[in-house]
Amino acid sequence: MAAPGAHATGPRPARAVGLSSAEVAERVARGQVNDVPVRSSRSAREIVRANVFTRFNAIIGVMFGIILVVGPIQDGLFGLVIVANTAIGIVQELRAKKTLDSLALIGEAKPQVRRDGSAQTVPTGQIVLDDTVLLGIGDKVVVDGLVTEADGLEIDESLLTGEPDPVLKHPGAEVMSGSFVVAGAGAFTATRVGRQAYAAQLAEEASRFTLVRSELRTGIDQILRFITYLLIPTAIGLIISQLAVEGSDWREAVRRMVAGIVPMVPEGLVLLTSVAFAIGVIRLGRKQCLVQELPAIEGLARVDTVCLDKTGTLTEGGMDLIELRPLRRGGAGPASADRTRPDRAHPDRAHPDGTHPDPPDPDGSHPDRAALEQALAAMGGADSRPNPSMQAVIDAFGAPEDGRWRVLEAMPFSSARKWSGVQLLEPQGSEAGWLLGAPDVLLPAGDPALAEVDELGAKGLRVLLLGRTPVALDSPEATARLEPLALLVLQQRLRADAADTLRYFEGQQVRAKVISGDSAISVGAVASHLGLPGGEQPVDARTLPEGGEELAEVADRTSVFGRVTPQQKRELVAALQARGHTVAMTGDGVNDVLALKDADIGVAMGTGSDATRAVAQIVLLDDRFATLPSVVAEGRRVIGNIERVANLFLVKTVYSVLLALLVVITQVPYPFLPRHSTVLSTLTIGVPAFFLALAPNSERARTGFVRRVLRLAVPGGVIAGTATFTSYMLARADDVTDLEADTSVATLTLFLVAMWVLAIVARPYTWWRLLLIATMGGAFALVLVVPWLSDFFQLSLAGTRDPWVGVGIALVAGLALEVVWRVIVRRGDA
């Protein structure tokens, strides 16, 4: 939308006043409204169904039902644990859903529409058919429509067509939802809303609660699938053997059969994984970090390369114009420049050194300082959607003086052109185009002014060139006959937390790379100021090789890139991924969208464009770059802790399968009742796993989850099962057969070995982990010594020989576990 007084070339439609309130109400009543719900999480019904109706809950539920029939009820305690754990999972996910839904509402795009002749901000779901929707730089087209107003309006349709080049839109052109504005401004009339618009599919895909593939989830699924294959034949053999052994007491046979089957199912592993993810999302949500896909926190924890966009990430959005430097004719260098901040109140005052600005040329061909400031003021007034650089110009020079400088045509800034411009009717009656943009784009190579630009850029300053041309703005030769007039020196505002965040990534062995559209020297200066390794050696992306191994080599060894186009950002991300890196990309502008979409993890700023928020997995709603370490730490906590508890659950599965097989082979009663499995699982796995899964953990995420877990789980389970069955059979070898006493010895042995496994998994020790281990040991001691508890769990240690034999066997098993830990596990990690 051109500024007041602008005269666009060719006929233009009259500015639409938009729908009236009555017309909006009429369309709402007819259902012609964009009321497609954007889901940020699963529904409550889906959460309940996902946590209740699982194959493992079905197995446990059947076993629980059997125990309810044969009794006693204490043998069915495992069923109550499953119910409690499932309830915890449902409650935690419902809490996560509430947080996600509220945060998604905060981060939801709210476009502007024109109604009753004025602009109004409305939620996306309240746009109706025939609404006039306003567009500016960075806005996403949320419904389909036809353009009614266009002022240099350029739309990027790459998310729809894959074509990276923006499309210039004129009145009458079609715009599709899912595209976004990269330059100019305009308006369009909504022609398709709701489920008829492509935005319905895009928004659903971008905002939906999704359990995307991750190494953690994939690894657990592989393990559980394998266990299922073992479970069925083992359970069948166990059922037959126990019915044969306990033929005279079928109820006892059924109880011991259930006791053998239940521990094989690592039902808590999946549950604790979901709970850990859900709690992680809640914790990050409290820090104003919206996780749009739950495994994204795991993904960022696995990232080894973070690509940062300088503007909006390392620097704040605002800028200050600190200096206006007029150039001599022909751009041969600076004139006697005023080295102070521009002063609108005294444009003709003397310089601090006593000199005066250049006097105006007799023919007016080379404007003086006052004229430059007036022209800049006119350029600022003509920009309806100023970017930070133009806003700094507006802040410095204010509004143009009425009538002296008339805007005939305006061309907003385009990231493809790297400049903006206006066609001005100057006070002396001449007409010329005034351009403001990147000096290295507007000036020819070797121009003397570029040396000064580089000098300023090396200090971390941003420099724009103001020039004047007799050529029309829409001409391909608009910059060919440009007369450089002045340099504008701007200072970016560095984020206070940027340096600390970069140091955090460096300490975590995560390489940070700055990929920016600004000049390489300026970006390098900012990176060096923040202490980024390699910041002093920036690379201009215009010199990069085109694809292939050569580009991957440069991308891998370089830390700072400048003058990067949106397509090159995408190519750099792909090149790093080709080198085996897991890449995260942060950004806030539309030029970051392609790279955000292709990166392993996309991180968008909350105040960035709608398009970046739509494609990112993580959105920093408060724009705090310093939140990223929290996301990494949360992901590492989840990954590290789930790996810990996976060891506990899978050791139990392995020793349960081994015990069942040994019982089937030897045709002896299964050594445990369900109540024994309950107390063992609760004290050595259930309660400790809950605390370990939620504890702090800063271990760096690594690949190979399944391999590392099985390295301890398989030998650990074999050792535990062998030790337990050995003590059980030695106890049965007594002259007097007492099944309860034999079971008690086996329970004691297995508890001690399982506690040793817990002690290994809990390393390195902290006070609360030692307290946790001691508490579990004390709880089991109470079960043995308190009469009503020992009666309830049917545990009684008879004599001294068998219990001490069990303790000795457990000690030997513990030493074997230490050998496994030090030889197999520790060496494998080296």
Residues 189/131, Cβ–Cβ less than 8 Å: yes
The CA distances from residue 784 to 219, 778, 780, in Å, are 38, 10, 6
**In whole angstroms, what is the distance from residue 571 CA to residue 585 CA?**
12
At 320, the amino acid letter reads: D
Q: Which residues are catalytic?
A: 309
The whole-angstrom separation of Cα 146 and Cα 191 is 7
Q: Which two tokens stand for residue 184?
A: 């100019």
Q: How far is CA 566 from CA 155, 182, 541, 558, 569, in A?
A: 14, 11, 11, 18, 5
Smallest CA-to-CA distance from 419 within 369, 488, 351 is with 488
Distance, C-alpha 631 to centroid of its chain? 8
Taking the C-alpha atoms of residue 419 and residue 383, their distance in angstroms, rounded to an integer, is 13
**Helices 520-529 and 448-457 meet at what angle, rounded to 10?**
20
Return the closest-CA partner of residue 673 out of 751, 735, 737, 739.
739
How far apart are the C-alpha atoms of 485 and 375, rounded to whole Å? 11
Beta bridge partners of 307: 513, 585
The distance from CA 30 to its chain's CA centroid, rounded to whole angstroms, is 39
Calpha distance 421→409 (Å, rounded): 9
Q: What is the DSSP letter of 470?
A: S
Are the CB atoms for 468 and 433 separated by under 8 Å?
Answer: yes
How far, CA to CA in Å, does 477 sit from each of 412, 482, 669, 759?
A: 17, 9, 93, 75
- Rounded Cα distance between 596 and 612, Å, is 7
Burial of 441-465, coded b for 16+ CB within 10 Å and e otherwise, reads ebbeeebebbebbbebbeebbbbbb
Give the span between the Cα atoms of 419 and 273, in whole angstroms. Answer: 51
Cβ–Cβ contacts within 10 Å for residue 424, how many?
24
Two tokens at 397?
């020079």
Grouping H, G, I as helix, E, B as strand and the rest as coil, residue 15 is coil
Cis peptide before 764 (omega within 30 of 0): yes
The packing angle between helices 739-761 and 801-819, to 10°, is 30
Q: How far apart are CA 376 and CA 397, in angstroms?
A: 7
Q: Check: CB of residue 154 under 8 Å from CB of residue 181.
A: yes
